[in-house]
A = this chain, B = another copy of it.
Amino acid sequence: MTQSPWQPISPAKPVRPAKEPLNRERIVDTALRVMIDQGYEAVSMRKIAQELQTGPASLYAHVANKKELDQLLVDRAAAAMNLPSPPDPERWQEQLKEAMREMLRAMRTMPGVARAAIGAVPLGEAALRTSECLLGILKAGGLPDQAVAWAVDLIPLYVTAVAFEENVQRADQWSPEDLEQFLDGLRSYFASLPADRFPLTMALAGPLTAGAAGDDRFEFGISVITAGLASLAERR
């Protein structure tokens, strides 16, 4: 074989290696992209490896296991949250509601993250910052320390559960029309129940199937929790 004259004589060495090396960040970036595009179910060690043009075994040099990857995704979501600060004793209830709305908003931008978050203790740096912020708001509200601490457990639990519910529906690929059709079916199902055994379910079929699409149900939830916490503060 002859060397073309415009090529250097030194052995052909690409300026960049064909593959850039694997690292934690690239793995989490890829997992996040897959999760946003295709949902939590699609985030598998095998699929992430495939996206990175390698085999699943390669990931284990950078991530302990799937659970750790899930935790890293949760921390990404926490990092995306813009929580109200500094805490204001005059407005703590509104700040708390704002924080919960923001938590849900961030989780919605990463559908599936709720599934990764639920039932895991979030100890990443961003998750801790979220906790610290909530602690501040609740302290500003004048709650006793133990109530503050348990509330910081209760609040993400509720928001995550709501996001998780939405995520299940999304995973089933329900369009708004599908949802409306499902609710219609539900209403006629309620109407067909034996009236002697399910009188209230039948009477409240309307309210029971309302607010499934928008944020009214979530707003109700955060109002109940905020009012409940406020009632604890008043007893101080």
Contact = CB atoms under 8 A, between A and B. Distances in A.
Given A154-B221, A224-B228, A119 B165 contact: yes
A131 B200 CA distance: 9
A199 to B, nearest CB: 8
Chain A residues touching B, range: 35 or more
B228 A135 contact: no
Interface string A139-183: 100000111111111100110111011011000000000000000
Interface stretch (A25-33, A44-52, A100-108, A205-213): A205-213
A36 interface: no
Contact of A224 (B120, B131, B229): B229
Contacts of A229: 224, 228
Nearest to A135: B200
Contacts of A121: 186
Contacts of A151: 220, 224
Contacts of A201: 128, 131-132, 135
Interface in A179-236: 186, 189, 193, 197-201, 204, 206-208, 210-211, 216-217, 220-221, 223-232
Given A118-B118, A128-B198, A150 B204 contact: no
A154 to B, nearest CB: 5
A118 to B, nearest CB: 6
A167 B129 CA distance: 26
B119 A164 contact: yes
Nearest to A167: B119
A84 interface: no
Contacts of A164: 118-119
Contacts of A232: 223-224, 227
Contact of A217 (B131, B150, B217): B150
A123 interface: yes
Given A129-B198, A146-B207, A153-B217, 5 more contacts: A118-B161, A118-B165, A119-B167, A148-B204, A150-B217
